[in-house]
Structure 1
Amino acid sequence: MANPFVHVELSTTSVPKAKAFYSKLFKWKLADLPMATPGGKYTAIQVGDGTGGGMMKQMIPGAGSAWMPYVLVTDIDAATKKANKLGGKIMKPVTEVEGMGWLSIIEDPTGAIIGLWEPQDE
């Protein structure tokens, strides 16, 4: 399948509450990892079969908790530019996730937000 969903991320106002809820609801395995931001932690979500994800503290002041799906692309720069050309808005430009790949976040013409992901070659 071209451009599958490959990651789902929760930006939450309370990581401890989210971790307690989802680990009990779904029996997900959660692993805390350091983030590049000072004092930041990223919780990896391991689901077994299927698309995994992560959760972290909401970084937008005043914003509520929200899930964001990421779609696999082969050329993040081209896909981000194409989204903009088609009437999308670039919310976060192409950004490197050190040692893993690149992401960008776009808003479609209807206001829905989605992430694009290009993994680093191994």
Structure 2
Amino acid sequence: MPEITTPYVPGTPCWIDLSAPDQQAALDFYRDLFGWQGEIGPPEFGGYASCELHGKSVAGIMSAQPMGDQPPPPTAWTTYFATPDADSTARAITENGGTVMFPPDDIGTLGGMAIAADPNGAVFGIWQAKDFPGAGIANEHGAMIWSELSTRDPDRARAFYPAALGIDIGPMEIPGVEGMENYFGVKAGDRTVGGMAVQGEDSPEVPSHWLTYFAVDDADSTVDALIKAGGNVMRPPSDMPAGRMAVVQDPQGAVFAVITPRPL
């Protein structure tokens, strides 16, 4: 079991959470799809639910409710990147053309977080760990395995993320695979932790975004189960260089990907 036992390197995707109109329905859906266990949390944390797999935290699910005079957040998964200092990272985001949507705030003794958008509009979070380091399991069935930025302005993204988050974006090379000119690797330290895909002109309505990938043992059977539970398929299972993957929506509209990794 690939448990996370060391602190996350700054710039690494360390946590994901979902904002959904019907929090309990989302908890039920992902329990049945991935085997997660979670329940609505205490009122002092807004009912935030931390979902577990094999007794380890893997993701959060919260209710998409209006905050003050603001509309409710969109039904979407958010990727959080590890940072040693949320305040300085928030300043770097702003100084390099990004937007801090929710400024750094302490979540009890767990850590500090903020929500931001890059210059192209892709939303992400940052997490400064204290008592809670982030996801305790990755890269196995039902857990996050990959984070992917989809953008039409790769040059702007390649300038922003190294300066704001300290991550590098460069050519992606997979042995024996050609035609990766429009796909880039995202590195934190010396490890590739995600990717960047260049959007084509055939989907002008799709904004820049970060896409969460979950590892699954069988992409086809997982998609079948999702359909039976009321989800939608945006990109049916197909074979890719990294494995067999699909892009889907849960019943409330949150988009994510599933992938059965290709054996290395």
TM (norm. structure 2) is: 0.42
Deviations 1:78-107 (A, max 9, x none): 101111111000100001113x21110111
Q: Which structure has more RCO (C-alpha within 8 Å, separation ≥ 6)?
A: 1
- The answer for unaligned runs of 5 or more in structure 2 is 1-52, 54-140
Given that 1:6 and 1:51 are in contact with CA atoms closer than 8 Å, whether structure 2 keeps it comes out as no
- State the partner residue of 1:78: 221
CA distance in 2, matches of 1:51, 1:32: 11
Is contact 2:144-2:213 (8 Å) kept?
yes
What is the CA distance between 1:51 and its match in structure 2? Answer: 8.0
Look up the match of 1:106: 248
Cα 1:32–1:88 change in 2 (3 A) is same
- Give SS of 2:147's match: strand
CA drift of 1:43 comes to: 1.0
Indicate the residue corresponding to 2:67 in structure 1: none
Q: In 2, distance between residues paired with 1:115 and 1:51?
A: 18
Tell whether 2:169 aligns with 1:3: no
Contact 1:74 1:118 in 2 (8 A): yes
Distance 1:30 1:24 in 2: 11
**Counterpart-to-counterpart distance in 2, 1:81 and 1:51:** 30
User: Is 2:190 aligned against 1:53?
Assistant: no
Change (3 A) 1:72 1:49: farther
Overall identity of the aligned pairs, in %: 29
- TM-score with structure 1 length normalisation? 0.85
Higher strand share: 1
Query: Could you say if the C-alpha distance between residues 51 and 7 of structure 1 is closer, same or farther in structure 2, counting changes exceeding 3 Å?
Result: farther
Deviation of the 1:74 alpha carbon: 0.6
Secondary structure of 1:61's aligned partner = coil
Match of 2:158 among 14, 19, 43: 19
Counterpart of 2:182 (choices 14, 24, 41) is 41
Pair 50,30 (structure 1): closer, same or farther in 2 beyond 3 Å: closer
Cα distance in 2 between the residues matched to 1:50 and 1:84: 35
